[in-house]
Homo-oligomer: A and B are copies of this chain.
């Protein structure tokens, strides 16, 4: 199925909601002129649609396969990755100093969405490399930066994240891999890492693993974990590739979806120890990994948006083409199923959720850019806090949404949706990983409750709520019937979120399990309210432009109607979440283990 990038909606989110103009005005962001951004997005759209999207089904039919320690990726992937690298797409958001385009995250966000919509399996390789770049930018030494960043950014080498071990998944305190200092600045790494995305492949000449491990005298738990850089091929002082390092891919997984993306089991140090160098300080690996993870979590949220958009486009095309049953309001003959109210409801639910999540991700990216470029430290700090509050919501909510949307896409196809040849089922299978990797939804929700809400006593949450109230007032003041209805739903939903934040802050210590029993519902509630807030802002901007006679009338009236749908069908759920969280914590924990 063809993929057409939703550029109009992306540009609306960038310009009208995330204030690209303000981002461009920041020091270091002046390249992001409206013309450049539009040109970059258009070129990225063309590349993703024409080069990457056609390989999506091939990846499902011809997964990456392992033989004798080597992984051969889906036919076409390697060449496509060359084209991707040569066009400079790995470097969109990375510094020009190391060969990147140095564009804001706000501009990289729609590019990421397009790549993921085109081909989730393919996009994972650059996504992980982005994480490795982020880690080195934050904590790498000058030598590490110089040796690795240009090769990452040019797409010559790729990066991986090595966290999980068989006994250490969500709980990194249980990491056992060892790193023994050699006295020459290097370490010998040994251990088994599992679930390593693109841990081995044939798309680049070197693969650089960022590996969590413990030094011999490290303390127990998460405070004894260090981060190491372990390349597949050692790098000579002149930058050329040296010897093969002691890391082997012993197998790859047979998975439900994203079959083209090789998920490796890596064995480090079976022959004396893989040689690695420390990134940052000893025992502080988790801090660096968290920076990398925040970037990766945001990116996985964007994966959800991209996957959902692809599933939506496929279902929409089917709904317009499949003729079945007469129109309910009377027609002589059968009509396309998009005339059926329930098909329409399903399509609206897909469209509205995608647009809400896209808007929220773009606004989150703008906060990141301000946090990184604004001259005023206080402004940077505030924006960083808002960004960090939003990351688990964007990751958790947008990926749960993606599963829902992909499943709805199957449903719209009826019986054909269950047939693999149709392609809708692939999205349903692919989407299922998104709420699991880079921290399950529960892990995101723990982060939201613990680090992002309880730690500051709800300050950031309440500051966002105050913004939501301002939007609510402005939307209510417009007078348009749709906007008035949206404002009413937004107000009620904000009340619900307010009550939940209050509940979390007040009870998290005394009733820790009851509060955490509501953590995922809280995350979903926050997603709905923040997403609905962005849709309300979108409706207001659309309405203003309509009244001023500006812009694309059809697009703008659709935006108002879609925002209204979101308010009617999603913001209306907020009150139910509030009740389940505030009143339903005890019943979650009521049974003894033996009573299950």
Contacts and interface: CB of A to CB of B under 8 A. Distances in A.
Interface string A567-596: 111001101100110011001111111111
A429 B428 CA distance: 9
A43 interface: no
B348 A587 contact: yes
A588 B565 contact: yes
A329 interface: yes
Nearest to A520: B342
A199 to B, nearest CB: 14
Contacts of A580: 568-569, 572
Contacts of A584: 565, 568-569, 572
Interface in A428-462: 428-429, 432-433, 435-437, 440-442, 445-446
Given A433-B418, A517-B344, A324 B169 contact: yes
Interface stretch (A129-137, A254-262, A273-281): A254-262
A411 interface: yes
Given A169-B324, A558-B595, A596-B316, A589 B341 contact: yes
A341 B513 contact: yes
A131 to B, nearest CB: 17
A583 B514 CA distance: 33
Residue picked from A334, A345, A575, most chain B C-beta under 10 Å: A345
Contacts of A348: 587-588, 591
Interface stretch (A114-122, A357-365, A419-427, A540-548): A419-427
B338 A596 contact: yes
A551 interface: no
A212 to B, nearest CB: 16
A391 interface: no
A239 to B, nearest CB: 36
Residue picked from A170, A403, A591, most chain B C-beta under 10 Å: A591
B517 A174 contact: no
A79 interface: no
A565 B596 CA distance: 13
Q: Which of the four size classes fits the interface of chain A?
A: 35 or more
Contacts of A410: 256, 432, 436
A229 to B, nearest CB: 24
Contact of A171 (B194, B325, B328, B588): B325
A139 B173 CA distance: 67
Contacts of A419: 253-256
A576 B524 CA distance: 15
Contacts of A573: 573, 576
A434 to B, nearest CB: 10
A202 B360 CA distance: 54
Contacts of A164: 415
Contacts of A590: 561, 564-565
A407 B436 contact: no
A417 interface: yes
A244 interface: no
Interface string A394-409: 0000000001000100
Interface in A166-212: 167-171, 173-174, 194-195
Given A517-B342, A576-B572, A591-B558, A436 B411 contact: yes
B256 A425 contact: yes
A375 B167 CA distance: 64
Nearest to A419: B253
Nearest to A554: B595
Interface string A146-167: 0000000000000000001001
Interface string A304-327: 000000000000100010011100
A387 interface: no
A464 interface: no
A429 B406 CA distance: 13
A351 interface: yes
Contact of A436 (B417, B429, B592): B417
Nearest to A588: B345
A435 to B, nearest CB: 6
Given A328-B516, A343-B442, A568-B580, 18 more contacts: A164-B415, A255-B420, A256-B419, A320-B596, A341-B516, A341-B517, A344-B517, A345-B588, A348-B587, A411-B441, A414-B436, A417-B432, A418-B432, A485-B583, A568-B583, A569-B584, A572-B583, A573-B576
27 contacts: A170-B324, A253-B418, A254-B419, A254-B421, A255-B418, A256-B410, A328-B512, A341-B588, A342-B445, A344-B589, A345-B517, A347-B596, A348-B587, A348-B588, A410-B432, A411-B441, A414-B440, A428-B432, A561-B590, A561-B591, A564-B590, A565-B584, A568-B583, A569-B580, A569-B587, A572-B576, A573-B576
A-B pairs, top 10 by smallest CB distance, nearest first, are A568-B584, A342-B442, A561-B590, A341-B517, A171-B325, A565-B587, A256-B425, A558-B595, A341-B516, A572-B579
